[in-house]
Amino acid sequence: MFLVNYSSSSEDEDEEEEPRPGVRVDVGAAAAACSEEVKSQRLPIPESVMGMFSQSEEHLDDSSNHDGRIRSFLHQRGNWSTLVYVEYYPEEEFVELIDLLLTHLQAHKLPMTRVTEFHVSLSQTVVLRHHWISIFVESLKEKMTFFDRFYCLSDKVKIYTNEEKTRTFLGLEVSAGSNYLLELLKEVDKSMEEFNLKTYHKSPSFHISVAWCLGDLTAELEKHQHELQVPAVGAPEVGSGKGPQLLEGQCGRRYDTEKNRISVEDMVDKFENSARILQHYADQVRCKTGNKVFSFSLR
């Protein structure tokens, strides 16, 4: 067997001179000299570039940019706020009803802000890593395939707060169709568990949030919900001498301003066509993660 040594054509030129026998080589001194030579050859870094790394990158969340709302979790690069829900597409009369409720509360120094998008949540807001999104969405899609479309009715006024008690919500609780929502929820929870994410509340109260305010105002709002009786919005004030009036554009009944007074719940019950406008058709489940929205059609 022959051992063949291959070398490049420039071997003679590149070959370093080997130390002669009996001559000591100071390896440390040679390395130091080489290092000094490299340093002397380095180009200076522009100040503008050095300034980019003067401090670690940090996202400062200013609540004033979000109407005073505070994040439930800190913003971090690669983390995507995620929510699974059934969307509700309101008719114009639905918005009129919400404005009627808010006017009622405003009159008693309880201002609330109407939400811009209406939905029934099927999950808590969770943090999803960016590289999980496609797998998580595929998991939901697979589980939603076998569900049929259904109707819901949200007609029960109820007060809610977030977990941190930093915001209070006026909601319309689902009174019909909650059993179908519960079946959907069970499958959504399974997807959450696959990624070690927080599942939904153990005893869920499915609802549409229609307005919100800062702080925990549960006691004040419940007082107006159940106890405080006030003249209907649009009805004349007590003692105005105008007699019975029709609450125009709201419902086809007359109000005796000294005898017939309505609460927030009454406003919903007596609103014209309330049974129709508070009914919504669940034909798809949606998942919003960051600025992306994924839709899963029901059968």
> Which 3 state secondary structure label does DSSP give 27?
helix
- Residue from 59, 66, 104, 119 carrying the catalytic annotation: 119
Do 296 and 93 meet the contact criterion of CB atoms below 8 Å apart? no
- The DSSP code for 123 is S
Residues 6+ apart with CB under 8 A from 124: 83, 198, 199, 200, 201
Rounded Cα–Cα distance for residues 282 and 151 (Å): 6
Do 169 and 160 meet the contact criterion of CB atoms below 8 Å apart? yes
Rounded Cα–Cα distance for residues 254 and 274 (Å): 17
Rounded Cα–Cα distance for residues 80 and 127 (Å): 5
Per-residue confidence band for 129, with pLDDT thresholds at 50, 70 and 90: very high
Per-residue pLDDT tens for 178-197?
999 999 999 999 999 999 99
- Residue 88 pLDDT > 50, yes or no? yes
CB atoms within 10 A of CB 120: 26
Do 63 and 172 meet the contact criterion of CB atoms below 8 Å apart? no
Per-residue pLDDT tens for 224-281?
775 433 333 443 343 333 333 322 333 333 333 334 345 677 777 767 677 788 999 9
Average pLDDT over residues 91-117: 91
Task: Please give the structure tokens belonging to residue 231.
Answer: 């003249």
Domains and CATH numbers, the chain: 78-91+110-215+276-297 (3.90.1140.10)
Does the predicted model carry a pTM greater than 0.85?
no
Listed range (18-22, 206-210, 266-270, 286-290) with the worst mean pLDDT? 18-22
Catalytic-residue membership of 119:
yes
Listed range (39-53, 111-125, 284-298) with the worst mean pLDDT? 39-53
Rounded Cα–Cα distance for residues 79 and 52 (Å): 23
Rounded Cα–Cα distance for residues 261 and 235 (Å): 10
Per-residue pLDDT tens for 144-159?
999 999 999 998 889 9
DSSP string across 250-285 = T-S-EE-TTT--B-HHHHHHHSTTHHHHTEEEE-EE
Catalytic-residue membership of 201:
no
| pLDDT at site 153 | 94
Per-residue pLDDT tens for 4-58?
444 445 444 444 555 555 555 565 666 666 666 655 566 666 666 555 544 434 4
Rounded Cα–Cα distance for residues 52 and 55 (Å): 8
Average pLDDT over residues 276-296: 94
Q: Quick one: which of 160, 187, 188, 190 has its CA closest to 173? A: 160
Per-residue confidence band for 290, with pLDDT thresholds at 50, 70 and 90: very high
Q: Quick one: which of 210, 233, 227 has its CA closest to 94? A: 210
| pLDDT at site 228 | 38
